[in-house]
Structure 1
Amino acid sequence: MKMYLGSINDKVWDVVENEFVIIDPTNLTNNDKSNKQCNTMALNAIYNGIDSKVFEQINDLKKASEVWVRLEETYGGTSMVKSSKLYMLKDKLSNFKMKDDESIPEMFYRLQVIINYLKNLGEKVKDEDFSHNFLMCLPRFKILRTIIFRGGLKDITPNEVLGDVM
């Protein structure tokens, strides 16, 4: 039977997302063998993507699903931690200002980091909202800001807005 790369990747991800159980380790079924192989592939992929300090936190686990849960809890947090992070980031965004000693690209980068963290926590942030926040933080570009607003922010990416400002 021919397997395509997509189905192999799906199977590997399946052992990461779902715990599998081997009932009789001395008499492995084809499915058990496949799960073990996919688990090994998933663990190798995870190990290759982390540094040695993170590896020390997970090297006692044998299943990719257990490793994934630990990494999610450690770096993503529980739902309560995520909710708390989300509120803190929203507060940072609403109080965001350009620093006195900061260049426009540096300020754009700081704002982009906040937006990316929000997106990683599942918050929907439109590019036009990002661009609007960025433009509103510029201390002395009222005429340029007005021109860009008149052109509309729906069809322009934040990076294009940065380019227009620069």
Structure 2
Amino acid sequence: MAQSIDKPPFFDGTHYAHWKTKMKFFIKSRDYKLWDIVEDGPFVPQRSKAEWSADDRKKMELNCKALHILFCAFGPSIYEKMSSCESANEVWDKLEVTYEGTDEVKETKIGLLTLEYENFKMDPEENIEKMFDRFSTITNGLKGYGEAIPEEKLV
């Protein structure tokens, strides 16, 4: 089934790493400033709403747009978990902890994937395509955790 370029990728609680990559590019393609809001957190004006400048209002709108994109990607169960968040950054961080785990859990997963990578070899019952799929799953998993294997080591 084809994905519309106007709708954010749907997240149902499965395949988080794939969804995360797709959503990151979707948001960046809308407006790179939106991604800055998601990644770095919202801009919070240091004055009352009545005193906001046009720039303050624009930055607040970016957070609302980013939140809208994220919320439109969720089904009811994920939305319920995230609906109390007030910023796109808070949603993103909560998703990461919920579906990737804490930093300690991530380090453990990186360690396991690294061990799989270092001990990788073709299984006797496996064809080249299955071996390549298994290898890609390992390297893409590492990349998803920010641990990309250098190109010269992939050969």
Q: Same fold (TM over 0.5)?
A: yes
> 2:37 aligned to 4, 11, 15, which one?
15
Shift of residue 50 of structure 1?
A: 4.2
1:1-166 equivalences in 2 (<5 Å): 9-16=31-38, 17-22=40-45, 23-131=47-155
Give the number of equivalent residue pairs. 125
Extract unaligned runs of 5+ from structure 2.
Answer: 1-27
RMSD between superposed Cα atoms in Å = 2.6
Change in 2 beyond 3 A, CA 1:94/1:14? closer
Where does structure 1 lack aligned partners over 5 or more consecutive residues?
1-5, 132-166
Q: Residues 21 and 89 (structure 1 numbering): CA distance in 2 closer, same or farther, change over 3 Å?
A: same
TM-score (norm 1): 0.61
- 1:39–1:113 CA distance, 2 compared to 1 (3 A): same
Q: CA deviation at 1:52?
A: 4.1
Deviation at residue 27 of structure 1 after TM alignment: 4.5
Q: Deviations over 1:102-156 (max 9, x none)?
A: 322011101101001112222231334223xxxxxxxxxxxxxxxxxxxxxxxxx
Could you tell me the TM-score, scaled by structure 2's length?
0.65
Bigger relative CO (Cα 8 Å, ≥ 6 apart): 2
Larger Rg: 1
1:62 is paired with a residue whose SS is coil
Per-residue deviation, 1:18: 2.2
